[in-house]
C-alpha cells in the first residue's frame, strides 16, 4: 500500500530493530549491575566505558579538557540516548539514590567539562547523575558527594622517551602538562619548582603528597596494555624531605608490624573464601563443591579487582555472588572463550551464550534430591 505520492507508509520498528533495542538494554543493565556491585555506585561515563564505546585515550583527553566527549565517540546519538534512558529506568526500578557529579578538567584552571555542546542542560545533568544504593547511610552519601565534587589531581605526562615541544616557550623536558589544547612544560605551567618522586614506595608517596601544597600525578600511556599507568608524583622538595624523615623515624615500627599484618590478611582471605563458598552453595545448592570453592578463590583473590573483593562481595551480597558464578559459568560451561577467540565482540558473545548460562544456573539452583 502506497500514499498518494507513491511512497510506502511509515512503519513501526522492525522485529530486528526491537531485538537490537532489547539487547542494548540488557547490556546496559548488566554493566550497571556489575558497576553497582563492584564500586557501590553507577556513573554513565563508566557504563559507556564498560560497553566498549569510550576508548581510554578519548576519556583521558576529555578529562584533560582537550575536547568534548560525544563529538568524538563513534556511537550514534540515538544509542547514547537509549543508553541513558535504560540506565535511568533501571535506577528507578531499583529505587537508587541519585547524586550529581561535578566534572572539571585536570588542569590548573579546573575548567568545567561538558559532554557535548549540542546537549540541553537536562541531558547534561542526566550524564552527570550518579546512582547509589537506596540503603546508603547519610554519612556514606555525604562521603560520596564530597568525592564527586572533589577537583581532580593535576595530571602530567612522562615524556622522557619521546620528543615533544612546549606550546609557549618551544622548549622541551621530561614531563609536560596539557592545558586545554596546549602542551606546556613544567616551567610554563609554574610547576618547575616541584621534585619528581618515582612510584614504588606507597607510604612515602602518600605522605609527601599530603604534605605538599601543590602536587601533580605523573602518568604514562602504555601502548601494549592500552592504559595509563602511574609513574610517580611531583611534590614540593620540603614536603618530600619531611616525608622521607617521617618514614625513616617509624621504619622499625612499620617493619615490626609487617609480618603481623601479612598474617592477619592471610586469615582474612581464608575466611572470606570459606564464607564466599558457603554463600555460593546457599544460592546454588546443586553447584559442585569443588567448583564452588574455585569460584570463591578466583572471585576473592586479593588485588584482583574482581567482584569478591568489592564491598558487596565482602558483604556476601546475593547479586555479587551471582555475578561471580555467572562469570565462572561463561568460561567453564559455554563456548564463550571460543567465540572471543574467533573475534566475536564481548557483549555479542554474551548474548549468544545467555541461554546456556541460564540453563546451568537453573540446574544449580535446584535442590539436590540426594546428598
For 75, what's the count of Cα atoms within 13 Å in the CB-facing half-sphere? Answer: 18
Residue entry with cell 578519548: 58
Q: Please report how the helices 77-93 and 15-39 are oriented relative to each other, as an axis angle in degrees rounded to 10.
A: 60
Residue 169 parent element (H or E): none
Three-class SS state of 98: strand
What gap in Å lies between CA 229 and CA 119, rounded to an integer? Answer: 32
Pairing of strands 175-179, 154-158: antiparallel
| pLDDT at residue 363 in the model | 94
State whether the Cα torsion 334-340-342-345 is positive or negative: positive
| pLDDT at residue 8 in the model | 53
What gap in Å lies between CA 140 and CA 310, rounded to an integer? Answer: 16
Question: What is the block-wise mean pLDDT of the chain (371 residues), using blocks of 10 residues?
Answer: 49 69 88 87 91 85 84 83 93 92 85 85 91 88 89 89 88 87 88 94 94 93 83 96 95 91 92 95 95 94 85 86 94 94 88 93 78 42
| pLDDT at residue 88 in the model | 93
Residue entry with cell 537536562: 122
Reading across the β-sheet that carries 194-198, which strands appear in turn?
182-185, 175-179, 154-158, 216-222, 227-236, 194-198
| pLDDT at residue 13 in the model | 62
Residue 65: other Cβ atoms inside 10 A: 22
Beta strands in the chain (DSSP E): 41-42, 97-100, 129-132, 154-158, 175-179, 182-185, 194-198, 216-222, 227-236
State whether the Cα torsion 78-90-366-336 is positive or negative: positive
Nearest CA-CA partner of 50 in 31, 74, 68 = 31
Domain ranges of the chain: 12-152, 154-249, 265-365
Distances (CA, A) of 343 to 56, 114, 333: 21, 34, 19
Could you tell me which residues are beta bridge partners of residue 178? Answer: 183
Three-class SS state of 112: strand
Tell if the pTM clears 0.75, that is, is over it: no
| pLDDT at residue 60 in the model | 85
| pLDDT at residue 370 in the model | 42
Amino acid at each position: 500500500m502506497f500514499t498518494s505520492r507513491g511512497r510506502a507508509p511509515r512503519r513501526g520498528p522492525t522485529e530486528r530493530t526491537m531485538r537490537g533495542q532489547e539487547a542494548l538494554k540488557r547490556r546496559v543493565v548488566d554493566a550497571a549491575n556489575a558497576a553497582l556491585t563492584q564500586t557501590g555506585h553507577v556513573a554513565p561515563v563508566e557504563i559507556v566505558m564498560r560497553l566498549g564505546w569510550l576508548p581510554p585515550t578519548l576519556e583521558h583527553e576529555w578529562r584533560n579538557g582537550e575536547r568534548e566527549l560525544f563529538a568524538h565517540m563513534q556511537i550514534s546519538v540515538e544509542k547514547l540516548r537509549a543508553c541513558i534512558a535504560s540506565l535511568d529506568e533501571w535506577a528507578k526500578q531499583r529505587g537508587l539514590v541519585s547524586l550529581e557529579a561535578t566534572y572539571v578538567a585536570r588542569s590548573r584552571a579546573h575548567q568545567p567539562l561538558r559532554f557535548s555542546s549540542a546537549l540541553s542542560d537536562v541531558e547534561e545533568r542526566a550524564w552527570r547523575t550518579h546512582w547509589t544504593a537506596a540503603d546508603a547511610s547519610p554519612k556514606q552519601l555525604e562521603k560520596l558527594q564530597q568525592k564527586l565534587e572533589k577537583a581532580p589531581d593535576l595530571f602530567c605526562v612522562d615524556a622522557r622517551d619521546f620528543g615533544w615541544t612546549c606550546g609557549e616557550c618551544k622548549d622541551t623536558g621530561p614531563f609536560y602538562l596539557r592545558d586545554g589544547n596546549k602542551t606546556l612544560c613544567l616551567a610554563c605551567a609554574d610547576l618547575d619548582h616541584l621534585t619528581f618522586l618515582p612510584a614504588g614506595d606507597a607510604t612515602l608517596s602518600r605522605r609527601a603528597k599530603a604534605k605538599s601544597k601543590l602536587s601533580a600525578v605523573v602518568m604514562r600511556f602504555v601502548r601494549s596494555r592500552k592504559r595509563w599507568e602511574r609513574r610517580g608524583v611531583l611534590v614540593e622538595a620540603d614536603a618530600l624531605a619531611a616525608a622521607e624523615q617521617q618514614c625513616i623515624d617509624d621504619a622499625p615500627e612499620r617493619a615490626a608490624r609487617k609480618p603481623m599484618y601479612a598474617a592477619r590478611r592471610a586469615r582474612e582471605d581464608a575466611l572470606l573464601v570459606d564464607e564466599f563458598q558457603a554463600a555460593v552453595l546457599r544460592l546454588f545448592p546443586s553447584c559442585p563443591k569443588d567448583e564452588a570453592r574455585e569460584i570463591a578463590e578466583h572471585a576473592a583473590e586479593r588485588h584482583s579487582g574482581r567482584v569478591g573483593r568489592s564491598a558487596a562481595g565482602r558483604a556476601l551480597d546475593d547479586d555479587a555472588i551471582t555475578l561471580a558464578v555467572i562469570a565462572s559459568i561463561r568460561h567453564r560451561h559455554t563456548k564463550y572463550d571460543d567465540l572471543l577467540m574467533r573475534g566475536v565482540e564481548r557483549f555479542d558473545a554474551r548474548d549468544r551464550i545467555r541461554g546456556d548460562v541460564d540453563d546451568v544456573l537453573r540446574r544449580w539452583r535446584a535442590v539436590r534430591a540426594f546428598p
